[in-house]
Structure 1
Amino acid sequence: MIRSFVFNQGKLVGQDLDLDSLRLVLFDKGLHIWVDIEGGTDDEAKAVLDGVFGFHPLAIEDCLTPSERPKVDEYETYLFLVIHAVDYTRGSEEFRTTELNIFMGKDFVVTYHREPLRSITATVDRVLKNAPAVARAPDRLTHTMLDFLFENYRPVLEELSAEVSELEEKVLVSASTDILSDVLKVKKEVQKLRQIIAPQRELVARFARGEFKLVRLHLLPYFRDLSDQIVHISDMAEGYRDSLTNILQVHLNLQQTQINQVIKVLTVLATLALPIFVITSFYGMNFGHFPPEGSRPGMAYLWVFGVTGLCTGLLYWWLKAKKWL
């Protein structure tokens, strides 16, 4: 699907033009245009990217080839951005990223994405309702798209926050291996988020520093605000990683405590049984017949059991005195 919007001094004056009309609009220096390409075939996209705008072949190739790393390339008359929107659903515990490619020139913005994006939908709604607020120039329109894109990170962070809170409560109730698996899954996704955010943070910082001539000076504070927003997202992701590391450490400590408790019980049982083993071994190795000949059977057994019980009792009292029980 190809959508187009034509603006004159911030006012929406045309929509959904054909390719020939788009070429004519590009020659009118008083007009700004936004073309959004969603899905479709590569040939359909090239008809716009190459046939209408004549972008560099390398930029078109990068646009049509999925990339996991955000970047910004500066050409003579336009900028080419690759950036990613994210989605995260609890239960699936997996990040989905959707690539957004943006070509920004002095009089145009061209966006390309293979799947629907909430940030693009929100920008279209804003254009239709209040075009002068966002479409006075391509740099302002680009800022609006990026602002909506990073705003959509908020639900992702809320989902992760709820997930981390649940794990913090669960780890104190149970030390089962299921918790370990859950913690490692969420930690893996937080690491993915950090890997996505880090290069995008640097990309936005370049806009905030005014490195690109196509971004007007009075818009730099807006991009700095955007940079602060993504720094906050990065800091939150870092905090989630630290929390998950602490949860993992608590889980391992609890498991070790349980193991130590089991070892303690088994050691006590083995220690209390030691007199039985010693006495029975002594009689088993040194007497050919038990009870010995000439002895009273009842007294012999009473003697053995009495000594065994006494030794076990003394051993138990000694362990209690040492506070090992």
Structure 2
Amino acid sequence: MRITNLIRSKEEKAITPRKKAGAPPGTMVYTGQRSMDDVHVHLTQYHGDFFDLQTCQDEIPDPRSEGATQWFDVRGLHDIGLIERLGKQHGMHPLALEDVVDVQQRPKMELFEGGVLIVVKAFAFNSTTRDLSIEQVSIYLTEGTVLSFQEDAGDLFNSVRKRLETSSGRIRSRGADYLAYALVDNIVDKYFTVIDQIEGELDKLEDIIMRSPEMSTKSKIHDLRLALLTLRKSISPLRELMNRFGDTESKLISSDTQVYVADLRDHVIQITDLVETYRDVTNGLYDLYVSEISFRMNSVMQTLTIVSTIFIPLSFLVGVYGMNWQYMPELGTRYGYFVLWGVMISVILGMLGWFRSRHWI
């Protein structure tokens, strides 16, 4: 994977400009890449024993029960008109709508009159290609209603939806603010999965480096280093987001929900520490890789140097007796050839013994 695949996230590869030149604030411009043909809108409603799920394409489903908590889950952000209609239907501020379709936002929380907007990043890591994919998720909380906006067709909140359907845990008995917390918590939990995958890749690379480092090992380390850099860039603002989420005075978020947000804030701090730790581990692996390559190169050079050093006196001897002089006393010796071989073998054995005594071999 090339460097640009990691440093430039999905948002930064946009084919649409971030904002129209001269456009006033609140202008909705989708800055991502269209990944699906139709926009899917899933409406989940629940209260007590009541649960209902509707799915529509390119249209907004109508609520079937008054007084129930409503969750509109939008997948696909390219249909500006549909998102604008849905937003105006629930009193979303124009600036909030602008942030929803602008997928280059950093994680943040903003308070509006009658609503709270939370923007976070969702990650998925491919261990085979070491590709870290990023998806922006926006969550808008208003009275009795939560609107979530995902870029891709994949369901990031499948586990939350199952909990609602099976009435598992406390989620059915609580309001929309707890649902918004549960959606953010679901995304943060997936960070641990991504970090565990990266940790597994780091362990594999450490074994490879200690056993037999290859040229491709360097690029693998570099890919993981950039993946962790991208994670750090997107996770660091979450601490501020959690602080605002847990300490907000908005009437839309109850004190009971803020207790759970405090626990979620601890998870974010733990994730931040893990990312920093694995960044240090990655840097250490790179240093280890360089050291191993240098050690192996030094071993090769040492062997070649020893071989060359042994052949220097041998080359001198054969050079002397390879001269074409007519009168050379040793040339007439009957066993001179064998004597010369004996001398050369003695030189080789003597030099090897000396090298060993010096602990060079």
TM-score tier after normalising by the smaller chain length? 0.7 to 0.9
Q: 1:219 aligns to what? A: 257
1:91 maps onto 2:128 in alignment: yes
Q: 2:142 aligns to what? A: 105
Q: Distance in 2 between matches of 1:84 and 1:3?
A: 20
Q: 2:332 aligns with which of 298, 311, 318?
A: 298
- From the superposition, tell whether residues 97 and 323 of structure 1 become closer, same or farther in structure 2 (CA, over 3 Å): closer
Amino acid at match of 2:43: S
Measure how far apart 1:310 and its partner are: 6.0
Q: 1:45 aligns with which of 83, 98, 112?
A: 83
Measure how far apart 1:119 and its partner are: 4.0
User: What is the CA RMSD across the aligned residues, in angstroms?
Assistant: 3.4
- Asked whether the 8 Å contact 2:75–2:152 carries over to 1, the reply is yes
Amino acid at match of 1:107: G
- Asked whether the 8 Å contact 1:80–1:101 carries over to 2, the reply is yes
Amino acid at match of 2:111: E
Residues 189-227 of structure 1, C-alpha deviations (whole Å, 9 max, x = no match): 222222222122321232223464532223222001111
Q: Distance in 2 between matches of 1:252 and 1:13?
A: 59
Q: 2:227 aligns to what? A: 189
Larger radius of gyration: 1
Measure how far apart 1:311 and its partner are: 5.5
Measure how far apart 1:243 and its partner are: 2.5
- From the superposition, tell whether residues 105 and 261 of structure 1 become closer, same or farther in structure 2 (CA, over 3 Å): same
Measure how far apart 1:20 and its partner are: 10
- From the superposition, tell whether residues 117 and 266 of structure 1 become closer, same or farther in structure 2 (CA, over 3 Å): same
- From the superposition, tell whether residues 215 and 117 of structure 1 become closer, same or farther in structure 2 (CA, over 3 Å): farther
Q: Is the helix fraction higher in 1 or 2?
A: 1
Aligned residues: 315
Measure how far apart 1:247 and its partner are: 2.3
- Asked whether the 8 Å contact 1:161–1:240 carries over to 2, the reply is yes
After superposition, residues 99-178 of structure 1 pair within 5 angstroms as 99-130=136-167, 133-134=170-171, 136-178=174-216
Residues 138-187 of structure 1, C-alpha deviations (whole Å, 9 max, x = no match): 21111111122222233323322322222222222112212222222222
Measure how far apart 1:58 and its partner are: 2.1
Q: 1:82 aligns to what? A: 119
Q: Distance in 1 between matches of 2:305 and 2:52?
A: 84
Q: Distance in 2 between matches of 1:121 and 1:296?
A: 93
Amino acid at match of 2:355: L
Amino acid at match of 1:75: F
Q: Distance in 2 between matches of 1:126 and 1:318?
A: 76
Measure how far apart 1:94 and its partner are: 0.8
- Asked whether the 8 Å contact 1:49–1:60 carries over to 2, the reply is yes
Q: Distance in 2 between matches of 1:129 and 1:165?
A: 39
- Asked whether the 8 Å contact 2:121–2:137 carries over to 1, the reply is yes
- From the superposition, tell whether residues 114 and 299 of structure 1 become closer, same or farther in structure 2 (CA, over 3 Å): same
Amino acid at match of 1:78: G
Amino acid at match of 1:228: D
Measure how far apart 1:229 and its partner are: 1.5
Structure 2 unaligned segments of length 5 or more: list them. Answer: 1-39
Amino acid at match of 1:55: M
- Asked whether the 8 Å contact 1:71–1:199 carries over to 2, the reply is yes
Percent identity among equivalent residues? 21
- From the superposition, tell whether residues 305 and 165 of structure 1 become closer, same or farther in structure 2 (CA, over 3 Å): closer
3-state SS of 1:147 partner: helix
Q: 1:198 aligns to what? A: 236
Q: Distance in 2 between matches of 1:20 and 1:305?
A: 97
Measure how far apart 1:101 and its partner are: 1.0
- Asked whether the 8 Å contact 2:41–2:60 carries over to 1, the reply is no
- From the superposition, tell whether residues 266 and 20 of structure 1 become closer, same or farther in structure 2 (CA, over 3 Å): closer
Q: 2:273 aligns with which of 201, 223, 235?
A: 235
- From the superposition, tell whether residues 171 and 221 of structure 1 become closer, same or farther in structure 2 (CA, over 3 Å): same
| Larger CA deviation: 104-113 vs 210-219 | 210-219
Amino acid at match of 1:42: I
Q: Distance in 1 between matches of 2:96 and 2:154?
A: 21
- From the superposition, tell whether residues 266 and 140 of structure 1 become closer, same or farther in structure 2 (CA, over 3 Å): same
- From the superposition, tell whether residues 74 and 275 of structure 1 become closer, same or farther in structure 2 (CA, over 3 Å): same
1:64 maps onto 2:138 in alignment: no
Q: Distance in 2 between matches of 1:117 and 1:216?
A: 30
- Asked whether the 8 Å contact 2:109–2:245 carries over to 1, the reply is no
Q: Distance in 2 between matches of 1:315 and 1:21?
A: 92
- Asked whether the 8 Å contact 2:91–2:114 carries over to 1, the reply is no
Amino acid at match of 1:205: N
Q: Distance in 2 between matches of 1:167 and 1:111?
A: 38
Q: Distance in 1 between matches of 2:217 and 2:314?
A: 42
Measure how far apart 1:309 and its partner are: 6.0
Amino acid at match of 2:126: T
